[in-house]
């Protein structure tokens, strides 16, 4: 139930119709030369997310290496979670031999499956992994009903 931002190469002008966009996307798939490599490890979105739940919490993990903790913004609005920020380039104005780590701004929004207790959301950033714990609202937590014997 996530909102996935599709890979949107910059050469798409905004004037293109959705069909044209789709056709180009298909063409690109057909042009893939290395059919033997696994089609996708992860998704073309940043940051990639893993979302888990147990009875009490929803856990969101995001892989965001190289982003400074103070450059990450997390906001919760109703049952929408938004993670945005910016990864900055470390070697500015240097002569690059290789540049594989993409830099720039990112923003990602997901709709959470249940209501959460917004005031008790916590987030931790460690080794490039952002871990957000979102406690479920009391009314959606599973209740155990004791059966008494008369």
- Contact residues: other proteins, CB under 8 A: 2, 7, 37-38, 40-46, 48-54, 58-59, 63-69, 86-87, 90-91, 94-106, 110, 113, 125-129
Least distance from other proteins to the Cβ atom of residue 38, Å: 6
Q: Which residue, 91 or 150, is less far from other proteins as judged by CB?
A: 91
Residues 140 and 112: their CA atoms lie apart, in Å, by 13
Residues 117 and 131: their CA atoms lie apart, in Å, by 17
DSSP string computed for 26-81: HHHHHT---TTS-S-SS-SSSS-EEEEE-SSEEEEEEE-TT--GGGEEEEEETTEE
Least distance from other proteins to the Cβ atom of residue 120, Å: 18
Question: Which H/E stretch holds residue 104?
Answer: strand 104-111
Residues 51 and 62: their CA atoms lie apart, in Å, by 9
Q: Which residue, 25 or 86, is less far from other proteins as judged by CB?
A: 86
Q: Which residue, 36 or 150, is less far from other proteins as judged by CB?
A: 36
Q: Which residue, 29 or 149, is less far from other proteins as judged by CB?
A: 29
Q: Which residue, 71 or 149, is less far from other proteins as judged by CB?
A: 71
Least distance from other proteins to the Cβ atom of residue 140, Å: 14
Q: How many CB atoms lie within 10 A of CB 88?
A: 13
Least distance from other proteins to the Cβ atom of residue 150, Å: 35
Q: How many residues does the chain have?
A: 150
Least distance from other proteins to the Cβ atom of residue 126, Å: 8
């Amino acid at each position: 139930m996530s909102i996935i931002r599709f890979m949107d190469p910059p050469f798409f002008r905004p004037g293109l119709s959705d069909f044209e966009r789709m056709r180009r996307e298909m063409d690109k798939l057909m042009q893939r030369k290395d059919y033997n490599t696994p089609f996708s490890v992860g998704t073309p979105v940043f940051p990639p997310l893993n979302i888990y739940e147990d009875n009490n919490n929803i856990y969101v993990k995001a892989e965001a290496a190289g982003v400074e903790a103070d450059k990450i913004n997390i906001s919760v609005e109703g049952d929408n979670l938004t993670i945005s920020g910016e990864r900055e380039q470390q070697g500015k104005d240097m002569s690059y031999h290789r540049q594989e780590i993409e830099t720039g701004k990112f923003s990602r929004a997901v709709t959470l499956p249940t209501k959460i207790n917004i005031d008790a959301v916590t987030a931790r950033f460690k080794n490039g992994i952002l871990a957000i714990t979102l406690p479920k609202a009391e009314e959606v937590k599973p209740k155990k009903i004791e059966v008494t014997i008369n």
